[in-house]
Amino acid sequence: MVRNEAGWKVIVVGAGFAGLVAARELAWRGHDVTVVEARDRIGGRAWTDERMGMPLEMGGGWVHWGQPYVWAEMQRYSQDIIESPKPETVYWITGGELKSGTLADLDQLLADPMAAIFQDSATLFPRPHDPFRVLESEESSDELKAAFLAADQGSVLDAVRGGEFSQEQIDLVDAYWSAGYNGFTASASPMMAKWWVALSDNRLSYLDDLTLLYKLKNGMRGVYEGIASQIPGPIRFNTQVSRIDHSSDGVTATLSDGTELTADAIVVTVPITALRQVEFAPALPEPTREVIEQGLNSTGLKIWVKVRGRHSIMAYAPTGNPIAMMKSEYFLDDDSTILVGFAPDASAVDPEDIAAVQEVLRQWVPEIEVLDTTSHDWVADQWSQQTWATWRTGQLTGGWRGFLEPSSRLVFAGADYSTGWNSFVDGAIQSGIVAAHTIDTWSDQG
């Protein structure tokens, strides 16, 4: 696999999926790779941890064969999937009233408002792994380009307001996307929803299958540990990069202790919001800096809850409620159930307060008894400061594009920077491959 007789020295910042894949690919091509990681572990925001007697995903966890990059890595490292259970009963809150039904009832209520949100997704994203094709193609009309830019404005809920849909439908859509964006729908760009469904053959049912139905039997660690095992040399843990000097000739990374590492190129996989801690010289373009300072729409929380008894449920609640969505994930032999939930505001619910979490769950199931709770607050985590990447109004067509256009030997990679399944492990792997190929091509060109 090695093709470069004299490989470049490359620094990879971050040992999440993108950093591990970039390091592996570069090493396979004969480059001298140094991986530095601020945490004391690999995986980044994909972290399988033993909790509640189970390998639980503290971050990204669902996979699908329709996400080609993660599926390929699963086959490479012989990892199997299991199916998340489909709920027997769905609960939802609307106008302060509790309602319930089947999954088919939920799908029927969501179908029309979701179609309004997804309107023109196939036209705006004809090739969803090339998201800016409409803007960059000479064949696109001015009208189409204007429509593309407009899709990044307003709120994801704008399409369902105005009288055509019931408050019940609006509340359900609000809850769905509060969980999906893992943040507030009022500031969520409509474009991301259209992009995700375009990646899902423009079908809501397929989007749900791709993002919430299948998980790895042994957890994501079975993949990221496999990738790490094929990277020559150690990963430098507890190592923070505080400054990056970059040019068309090379890079220097300054660590928090003042140590300087020089290299021919650098791959930066730091989540966008956490880039506030890194100084770039020269500075990144102003619109890109604005995205970093603003932070992404990923202000929420993923929480695991163990409850007494068997509960095959899915539950929704709109903005104003601490948890937007909760669903059953595991039925245990001790007659308990592990649920997973998503909240748009990490500060609105204390995942360690069992009584408070139980109070939230009882708005759906009055007699439910919470036995244990666990989570990881990615928003408070110094090295992420956000959950999975979701977008505020105007960011995708604004400053985010600056991360994709290297003007020096600095390349960004990660789920935040993917032009495919952005926000997912699949996108992180894709961007790591692209980053490695980009640097390898530069080295060939001298």
Q: Residue ranges of the domains in the chain?
A: 9-45+220-294+392-445, 85-212+301-377
Asked whether the beta carbons of 29 and 225 are under 8 A apart, the reply is no
- The per-residue pLDDT for 5 is 61
With cut-offs at 50, 70 and 90, classify the pLDDT of residue 265. very high
Q: What is the DSSP string of 30-49?
A: T-EEEEE-SSSSSBTT--EE
In 3D, which of 166, 426, 446, 417 has the Cα closest to residue 288? 417
Average pLDDT, integer, range 392-415: 96
Q: What is the mean pLDDT of residues 127-140?
A: 96
Cβ-in-10-Å burial (0-12, 13-18, 19+) of 443 comes to: buried
Q: Residue 2: its pLDDT value, please? A: 42
Q: Which has the closest alpha carbon to 221: 23, 422, 404, 74?
A: 74
Give the CATH fold of the 9-45+220-294+392-445 domain.
FAD/NAD(P)-binding domain (3.50.50)
CATH number listed for the domain at residues 85-212+301-377:
3.90.660.10
| 194/4: higher pLDDT | 194
In the chain, the N- to C-terminal Cα span, in Å, equals 20
| E strands present in 95-228 | 97-101, 214-216
Please give the average per-residue pLDDT across 165-192, as a whole number.
98
Residue 47 has pLDDT above 50, yes or no: yes
| Rounded Cα distance, 150 and 168, in Å | 27
Arithmetic mean of pLDDT, 331-341 = 97
Which residues face 35 on adjacent strands? 12, 235
Average pLDDT over residues 271-295: 98
pLDDT at 446: 76
Give me the chain's average pLDDT, please: 96
Average pLDDT, integer, range 389-407 = 96
Confidence bin at 331 (pLDDT 50/70/90): very high
pLDDT at residue 3 greater than cutoff 80: no
pTM for the model stands at: 0.97
Q: Is the model's pLDDT at 313 over the cut of 60?
A: yes
Q: What is the pLDDT of residue 1?
A: 37
| % of the chain with per-residue pLDDT over 70 | 99
User: Residue 21 and residue 113: Cα distance in Å, rounded?
Assistant: 39
Is the pLDDT at 28 greater than 60, yes or no? yes
What pLDDT shows up at residue 233?
A: 85
**Among 298, 299, 245, 287, which Cα is nearest to 395's?**
287
Residue 336 has pLDDT above 60, yes or no: yes
User: In the predicted model, what is the mean pLDDT of residues 312-320?
Assistant: 98
Evaluate if residue 46 carries a pLDDT over 90: yes
Average pLDDT, stretch 38-44? 98
